[in-house]
Amino acid sequence: MKAYQRLLSYVKIFTPSNEESTSSPSSHCQFDLAHALVTELHELGISDVTLDEHCYVYAHIPATEGLEHCQTLGFIAHMDTVSDFCDHPVTPVITENYDGKDLPLGTSGRILSSEMFPHLASLKGRTLITSDGTTILGADDKAGIAEILTALEQLFAEKIPHGPLSVAFTPDEEIGMGTAHFDVKKFGADFAYTLDGDTEGEIQYENFNACGAKVVFHGINVHPGSAKNTMVNASLVAMEFNSMLPDCDTPRNTDDYQGFFHLLSMKGDVSQAELQYIIRDHDANTFAFRQKTMKHIAELLNKKWGEGTVELTITQQYRNMKEIIDTCPWLISLAEEACRSCDVTPLILPIRGGTDGAQLSFLGLPCPNLGTGGHAYHGPYEHITVEGMDAAVKVALQIIKLFAQKQF
């Protein structure tokens, strides 16, 4: 089976995670895909497969004869999707021999525009997979799952020699909880790769340092006719808080290694308001300064409007895995070699986000990220090509071969 065929099946299984949930997994629907993957792993002939109560799927493949001495290599992808544009089932659409130009997405009124996405011209002649424009596609990260399973299928079919392998499919990556209950010991790998990137050939090991910030504003509400020098409008204080942040440090105005403050949501009235942010930066010192900036603004506004008016809570999410991967740089050079062997251009790029691998690296499992062939994740313009997925499968297979040959 081709990787894209698996993807078409997986995207029809509803798996959005829920950031407001306190359970693990955050949404029970993720078990639907997990159970299907357990069945598929068994059908591939893998006997050591488990699904735990937190919706983590683990599988172990013993080494072929003569390679039992090799260290264990792992591959990881996540089952959940974002919850945005995910209120009804996904309808995948296949466009063969794509012309690289603007493409209407079903009858949604949305257009996959070459002006918005200049890389589309490079996909000319490929088979493009999108949604109908009313939902996400779900290639993030069901493409990674499909590619891992397809690589394993080809590994067995072609009887390729390999060392011991571990595979894991995780829940709740999109809400930053993908490794909350990940059992590194049970997984059993010495090194691993996540397949959770964009363009095929991407090799990523520099991700954002990340935290979330919740800012609650407590106002004083009185009759507006007699409010002089008494009323404190929580919504206006919230607006004031946001205006004191650097106005250019937003996702729209930054790229490459530049960090940002990103306002995710806002709600409120006179009595109480709330702003939810994420803070991102590749540089640890700048990341710390961004947090200090928010704390300083909160202090200034509390002095102005009264102590307790602004309540700031910062929650750490993940760190830049570069400091861990720098101790085993051969993981990157091995992936580069694998790409070149498959006629895929290796692309060493910073991750403007995070992956399960970032957190796992700090749990003792160095875990760079590889591209899956997809683009424009997290929205209705998400798309991927059959050819990009095929290339990602080839790269994963070549990594397995090269890893088995490495002398530790």
Q: For the chain, percent helix, then strand, then coil, each to nearest 5?
A: 35, 25, 45
Residue 111 to residue 163: CA distance in whole angstroms: 46
Which of 140, 141, 173, 190 is catalytic? The answer is 173
80 part of the active site: yes
By C-alpha distance, which of 213, 220, 244, 223 is closest to 234?
220
Which of 80, 141, 281, 382 is catalytic? The answer is 80
Q: Give Cβ neighbours of residue 62 (< 8 Å, ≥ 6 apart).
A: 48, 68, 164
147-186 per-residue burial string, b: 16 or more CB within 10 A, e: under 16: bbbbbbbbbeeeeeebbbbbbbbbbbbbbbbbbbbbeeee
Q: Quick one: tokens of 267?
A: 């709600």
3-class DSSP string for 55-113 = CCEEEEECCCCCCCCCCCEEEEEECCECCCCCCCCCCCEEECCCCCCCEECCCCCCEEC
Cβ pair 369, 377 in contact under 8 A: no
269 part of the active site: no
Q: Give Cβ neighbours of residue 377 (< 8 Å, ≥ 6 apart).
A: 82, 136, 139, 140, 198
Bridge partners of residue 274, in order along the sequence: 216, 267
Question: Which of helix, strand or coil describes residue 177?
Answer: coil
3-class DSSP string for 280-326 = EECCHHHHHHHHHHHHHHHHHHHHHHCCCCEEEEEEEEECCCHHHHC
Active site members: 80, 173
